[in-house]
Amino acid sequence: MKVAILMGSPNDASKMAPAAEMLDRFGVEHVTEVMSAHRTPAAVASFATGARDAGFAAVICGAGMAAHLAGVVAAHTTLPVIGVPLSGGLADGLDALLSTVQMPKGIPVATVAVNGSANAAVLVTEMLAVTDTELAARLDEFRAAGAR
């Protein structure tokens, strides 16, 4: 199983890189893509709709300002979606945080802190470790070492 890391803009790459680094640390396969809920909505819907069949186990979505990416992905898949609100815009990430966390009943998006892509990757790893004892052991080692 692999994890998708999506971001709304190429400008978000530095804020989402810690997610890829953390998944690499745990040995979790991942793919990173840029797609916008506003500029390429059909591509986002198509990706999300086919994500399970493509072998993805979860999706991490990072976006700023209106931050609709995670919600649009969640609307089109039943895979776990973790939203990473990104800093910038008028409220320096607070607007993105509120957009990401305020989802309607039945369409959840797990949400981490502003620019918290590393924690999003740890959360996904914990989800995958429910049925993967080797991955669970790597998480135990990570925590024992101070979770850094």
For range 77-91, the mean pLDDT? 95
Q: Which residue has the tokens 């939203």?
A: 83
Residues 6+ apart with CB under 8 A from 7: 13, 15, 16, 32, 33, 34, 61, 62, 63, 69
Task: For 37-76, write each residue's pLDDT tens digit.
Answer: 999 999 999 999 999 999 999 999 999 998 999 999 999 9
Confirm if 100 and 83 have CB atoms less than 8 A apart.
Answer: yes
Residue 64 and residue 15: Cα distance in Å, rounded?
10
Domains for the chain: give ranges and CATH numbers: 2-144 (3.40.50.1970)
Average pLDDT, the chain: 96
Q: What pLDDT sits at residue 1?
A: 85
For residue 85, pLDDT over 90 is answered with: yes
Question: For residue 32, what pLDDT band results from cuts at 50, 70 and 90?
Answer: very high
Task: For 110-128, write each residue's pLDDT tens digit.
Answer: 999 999 999 999 999 999 9
Confirm if 62 and 86 have CB atoms less than 8 A apart.
Answer: yes
For range 91-115, the mean pLDDT? 95
